[in-house]
Structures are given as structure tokens and as C-alpha cells.
Structure 1
């Protein structure tokens, strides 16, 4: 497969192969319109709105699958009508719910209702991968975003640039289990990649490259050999691909 024949530095290898993978995926699987997985107003999103939206989606699928022009024109009319009905249902549900909400906010339970809304909004917007607070070297909690970023930078700079044990014998690196923490590196082996791939979980969100884990778990020996070469190039040059 041509994707696994890329060579050069890490950026050239990755760009060539990733582009080839994405082109083949688009050609074979096509491109979907995308789906956010939820609605910002799902606390007022009722069954009527949901039903109208599902009807609109079904009409759209029929439209894109149309073969001849007559069928396409008919399905386009159905889709436009379904789209209009979904929009009307959306507007009606939105207006009704917010009118009720405004009445609640004018009553005695105003503060309690506002607190519930704020708490729900904070919980929904929360990011478990984002650290809001961190301690400095003296144990003081940092709240300022700039200080937090600087603390992370200092921590990883110290972690990644600390001098290792340079008294070890290079010939023993690959076989020795007592020299895992050192400044030098040995070549990554393909069996290590095979073991890592078995541990990776499916269904995870893709990164900027838009290539899912499921692909890498299915590439076979040729793909794993390419990944092994790529990571050895990265370690040797000490430079990651741009993407």
C-alpha cells in the first residue's frame, strides 16, 4: 500500500501517509453532515421537536440518495416541507418554554431557579480534561490562568530536560530492565507497538488528524512497521510532525 512507503523526516512521513488515509476514507465512506451529539437547549427539547427533526433527517437522506431528476425534485419538496415543519416546532417549543421560565423568574422561587440553571450550565460546560487549579513549587494554589500555564511549562521543561544516567553501557540498553530512566534511547520495536495497540480502547474521539484508533488497530503488520519507523525517526530527530 502506498501509504506505508512514505519516507523522509517525521513531518514528511506523517503528511504523506495521513493525506493518503483521509483521501481513501472519503472515497470509500463519503462525508457526513456531522452531528454535535446534543442540543444546547436540550432541557426544553420535547418529543414533538425530536420527531420533526428525525423526519427532516430521513427526508434529507432520501434526497441525497435520489438517482434520477424527477425523484430528486420530489424528494427535495418533501425535505423542504419537513425542514419547515421542524423549524416551526422548534420555535413553538422554544417560545413556550422560555415564556414559562420568565414567569418563574418573576416569582418567589426566582433565586432558586437561577441557581439551578447556573449549576446545570456549569456542569454541562465542564471539561474533565481541563485543569483550573494547580499548586506552585511551594504548595500555593494558583488561580491565574497565566501563572497556571507557566507552572505547567516549568514542570514539563524540568521533567523532559533533566539529565539522565549517562554512565550506562549503550550495548546493554535494549536488554536491560534496570535502565528505563535515562537520557539515551533505544530503537522502538514493532512488538512494543503491537502490545500498545491491543491496550488502546475503541470509540475514542479523534485528534486533529481525524484518524480514529479503530483504523490503527486494523492496519496490519505493514501499518505497524510504518508507525515503528515514524516514531524512531521522531526520537532520533527529537522533532514531532507539524500536524
Structure 2
């Protein structure tokens, strides 16, 4: 009896192609981007006032200058240390191998063997240099962060929570269809974010104070831009904060003008209203339950910059009591809990009761 087993086709995972904005870390790439952007604007140094026009020019220039990712799924390979020289040598070796397979002459065989030995030496040298650079980097602060990030990524890969292909519905049934899984996520987050809570009654007899709001200044934008962290995932508009940092003073002038228009018109660009909601596993309990995930929104970096400018102004006029520990700089709820435990232990030793308000 002959048994035929058909090979199961692997489902193709499509990954969105992304602009390689991380290349702006290199000064030469940053300078090239500035020059090409200036050429795209017709030689102008000042960015256009219209947000949609400026955003589209930046995106197109970024794709042309920096390139885009392949869109293929990133695999865990042991060839991360390959450089351009090694890749070129390996390509020549492959071509020599094809030539030898076609004509089978002694000359082509010797050429292939020579390239094979040369590639082996180059691979060994490149691998050693890459590891030396890695070990040197681990002694720095950035290297320690990379090591922690790598360890965390390895731990997540072992739990198979990078791509949640199955999820349970509200009745506990496992959903495997992609459309059903997406509908369940939509249903869960809509319920979570639109939950109605009891509203407290407004305090009567309090009049609102209205006063003239000063225009946003360039120094406010500079401070907010300096506080923004680099290397964060971009929102749907595909313009990271690295772009504004790269453009320098031209970006400050454009953003100041843009933020003042938003302040006066009380309307923000439509692109800022869109965001991408990504479920992140909390590393506890059932991996197929929606309640064990927290939703992270990927929003426009420019809108976050606008929020930082507004938040900095509010901090100068809003008084917050000293007992507020959550969401405060240089404070933590852990400190408050620790202080409360110490007080309770001291009063317990004395035989006194503790009253918390």
C-alpha cells in the first residue's frame, strides 16, 4: 500500500513595508535627507505651511533616500554579523559554483575552490570583528539596554505571543478564523474604552475663568522636541520624531506655526485622529483571553509633540497636592505604599491603630 501525504502549505505572513527612518541616526544619511527634501521643495529652506503637503513630501523623500523594508518576516539567523564585503564574496562564490556546475572544467573548479577558501577567511574575520564590537558595546549604557531588550525578546519568542492567531470569544469558544479574531478584538476594545461610569455632580456656583492664551513660542517647541524619545514606533502618518530632530531649526519654525494654527482654529489635522491599536500580552494567565492583553495605541509623533507643549504649559498653572504620587515626575506609587507599610508596622509595634484617609 502506498500512502501519499501532501505537504502542508505554510501561510504567507504579510508584513507592512516600513520606511527605514532609523538610518537618520547616521549624520551622512541625515544630511542627505535634508538636501533631497530641500530639492523636493524647489530649493526652499522653509517648509510649507500646509500640513498635508509637508507630510507627503517628507514621506516620499524618506522612501527615496532611506529606502523601505522588504516586507518579509524577520527570521532568527546566525548571519546578523554579515557585512557588505562578506555578502559580495558569497555572491561571487555562488556564481562560481553555478559556472562549475554548468561546464565542469578544471579551471572553473579551481576558481570555485579558491573563492570558497577566501570566503571562509573573510567570514571568520568579519564574525570576530562583529563580536568584538558587540562585547565593547555591552560595556556601555546603550549596550546594556540592548542586552535587556534581546533577553526580553527571547523570552517572548519562547511563549509564542508575538502573533495571536487564535483568541476566545466572550463565551470561551476559541476563534481561529482571522476575520472572527479581528471582530472579537474590535468588540473587546470598544467595550473597554466606551464603558460608562457614574458621573459626579458638577459643583454649582463656580465660574470659569477665561483669559487670553499666548501664542506658542519657538523655545517651547525646542524644549518639547528635546524631551521626545527617539526609536519609538510611528503612527499611521509614518513621520517619526527623528525627522523633526534631523531638520533642526526649519522643523521648529514649521511646528511652531502649525501648533499656533491648531491653537487658534481649535482643529487638528485629520491624520492625527487615526491610530493603530496593538494588543500586548501581560505575561500572565491565559494567552487566548483578551482581558490578559493591554492595548497600546501607536499615534502620530507630531501630535505627541503638540501634547507635550500643552502639558508643559498646564504644569505651570495647575497646582497638584504633595500627596499625589501617580503619574508624577520623580515620584512613584511604590514609594507611597512602602511609606504606608512602614507607618503601619511602627504603630503595630506600639500597639496603636492606624487610620488612613
TM-score, length of structure 1 as denominator length: 0.43
Higher helix share: 1
Q: Answer 1 or 2: higher relative contact order, Cα 8 Å, separation at least 6.
A: 1
TM-score, length of structure 2 as denominator length: 0.31
Larger Rg, first or second structure (1 or 2): 2
